[in-house]
Amino acid sequence: MTLNQIILFSLFGLVFVMLISGRLRYDIVAFSALLVAVILGVVPSSEAFAGFGHPATLVVALVLVVSAGLVRSGAVFLITRTLINASRSLGGHIALMGFVGGVLSAFMNNVAALALLMPVDIQTARKAKRAVGLSLMPLSFATILGGMVTLIGTPPNIIIAAIREQELGEPFKMFDFAPVGGVAALAGLLFVSLVGWRLIPQRDAKAKSEGFGDIGQFIAELTVPEGSKYIDQRLQSLYETAEKNDVAILGLLRDGKKRYGTAATTELKAGDALILKAAPEALDEFRTAVQLDFSDATRQDILTTDSDGLTMLECVVSDTARVNGRSAQAVGLAWRQRSVLMGISRQGKQITKQLRKTILRPGDILLILVPQETADDVINWLGCLPLADRGLQVTADHKVWLAIGLFVVAVFAASVGLIYLPIALGFVVIAYVLTGIIPLHQLYSHIEWPVVVLLGSMIPLGAALQSSGGTELIAGALVDLTQGMAPWTILTILMVATMTLSDVLNNTATTIIAAPISIQMAQSLGVNPDPFLMAVAISASAAFLTPIGHKNNTLILGPGGYSFGDYWRLGLPLEILIVTVSIPAILVFWPL
């Protein structure tokens, strides 16, 4: 063993001890290790920051921005309304989301599948008032499992097919992975949805999923627009949708007069204002689901012509505020500031007038819809005290199909090999900015920078281990260890070694190293190489022990509120199960 190999193995060991202990944040540990490796000369200075431009790092950053665009356009709400029920049990929710994620990731890149479903899972957790960490890891694992089924589902399968063509003259076809990958994926999904999720630590109730905790309930108004499909239908036809979105319909406002007791049977007309009680996020979800306007036609036009997006602000009326003792209409909030009073929270007291005509008092909490770029100016102009910014973005629901269309086209093009995935996602991000789906000033705020630093730091360390011959050292030891063993035992050891390597290195690098070795092992035994290639394909994808083994695990690290040492609790039994079911399946479908 060379000095460089000793240094790198020691450094990796120290890094993983520090990461599992959780005493320092993962990005600080990884970046410190990278700097130490450079100082000790095992990572060249010229390659020290190559990981920050690596496709894996870029994909993680781009996927987070694309996910934010899908949320803001209403695509996530669309899926949530048609598929997900927040009242469903946690086990049932995980089973349904896992099935959908598995199917999607079989026919699209599994990173893209998680990008689409992760915001849905977060929204559902918020509505069910549970920590998102309980369901986000099972979803990530499900999308990884689904990618094992087809050629395009995950990069290791594509690499395996290419190496087979290079070494044996013919690549694997689209569904050659399905028999073994399908068995492994099905077994894994059943385990995760029935048992595995119970193994996840439940300390993550403070995970970063918007909307947890006690959120103020506002009395608010939304208007029925011209051409609404609910015109001439009774108000009670909206009750089910309102309940599903955690909104209470209190009554109806028509021609300046409120109707309460008889409102349920009243037929809706254009211009009617619904009187609602809801939290800000629930109010926006309901508005998107029913296609309501923020206010009357004039104020709606003022808002929708804004090009930089809208946001909802929460602020408290003070004694010295401009609106103290006056109404929003009296101070000209709409025409002076292009803003609309969406709701008022008044310590549980009933508000009897139309919102914009209600006289405001000190202590009232206002929910105001404002153009993004003038948010601070509006608060200063009102003289109110802003509450902590909770990022209450307004869904641009009129762009939902544009956002979905751009995403689907990019993923399809990447899946069939027309364009490289990071480039495809980059085009989606640019298109989202140019079309206003994501305001330019919010472009970088959706990226989990500690995760980017983690990946950017670990990739050069992994590359140094490979270039120093450390990975070949592991491979040689594996060949020596399996001398004289039965083929099924060798397959098992190969899968365990490949899984272990994939948990430390990028799964693409692991496949490139392990696939040629597997062919050499099969040829030395005089048996069919295909079972060995299948073993590498499954095990390289089954990286469940760490957040750096697969990009999907890295993506959920921040939003799920996980620590580095949380993954093995669910990941270890899952990897054992994958090996247990895959070996018999390989021997049945790909005989030696």
Rounded distance between C-alpha atoms, residue 117 and residue 100, angstroms: 9
> What is the token pair recorded at 133?
């960490």
pLDDT at 215: 41
Rounded distance between C-alpha atoms, residue 424 and residue 78, angstroms: 23
- Partners of 365 in the β-ladder: 316, 345
Residue type, 553: N
pLDDT at 214: 38
pLDDT at 393: 58
Rounded distance between C-alpha atoms, residue 325 and residue 322, angstroms: 8
Output DSSP code: residue 199: G
Output DSSP code: residue 266: P
Longest dimension (CA), the chain: 90
pLDDT at 352: 61
Q: What sections of 90-237 are H helices per DSSP?
A: 90-107, 110-128, 133-146, 155-168, 178-194
- Partners of 340 in the β-ladder: 369
pLDDT at 204: 44
389: helix, coil or strand? coil
Query: Which domains are present in the chain?
Result: 7-206+448-589 (no CATH), 213-293 (3.30.70.1450), 308-390 (3.30.70.1450)
DSSP string, 222-260: EEPPTT-TTTTSBGGGGHHHHHHTT-EEEEEEETTEEE-
360: helix, coil or strand? strand
Q: Are 551 and 105 in contact (CB under 8 A)?
A: no
Residue type, 295: S
pTM of the model: 0.61
Rounded distance between C-alpha atoms, residue 317 and residue 405, angstroms: 43
Q: Which of 399, 388, 465, 476 is nearest to 434 (CA)?
A: 399
Q: Which of 228, 141, 151, 134 is nearest to 185 (CA)?
A: 141
Rounded distance between C-alpha atoms, residue 315 and residue 377, angstroms: 13
> What is the token pair recorded at 546?
């760490």
Rounded distance between C-alpha atoms, residue 118 and residue 449, angstroms: 18
pLDDT at 401: 85
pLDDT at 534: 95
pLDDT at 208: 43
pLDDT at 590: 92
* pLDDT profile of the chain (592 residues), mean per 10: 88 79 79 93 91 78 79 68 72 89 79 77 80 90 92 80 82 87 94 89 51 56 86 87 79 74 77 82 78 68 58 80 87 82 73 78 83 79 72 63 86 79 87 85 77 81 81 72 81 91 75 80 83 94 87 82 86 95 94 85
> What is the token pair recorded at 556?
């959920």
267: helix, coil or strand? strand
pLDDT at 479: 72
Residue type, 166: Q
Rounded distance between C-alpha atoms, residue 466 and residue 464, angstroms: 5
* Pairing of β 248-254 and β 273-278: antiparallel
Rounded distance between C-alpha atoms, residue 249 and residue 348, angstroms: 16
Q: Are 538 and 176 in contact (CB under 8 A)?
A: no
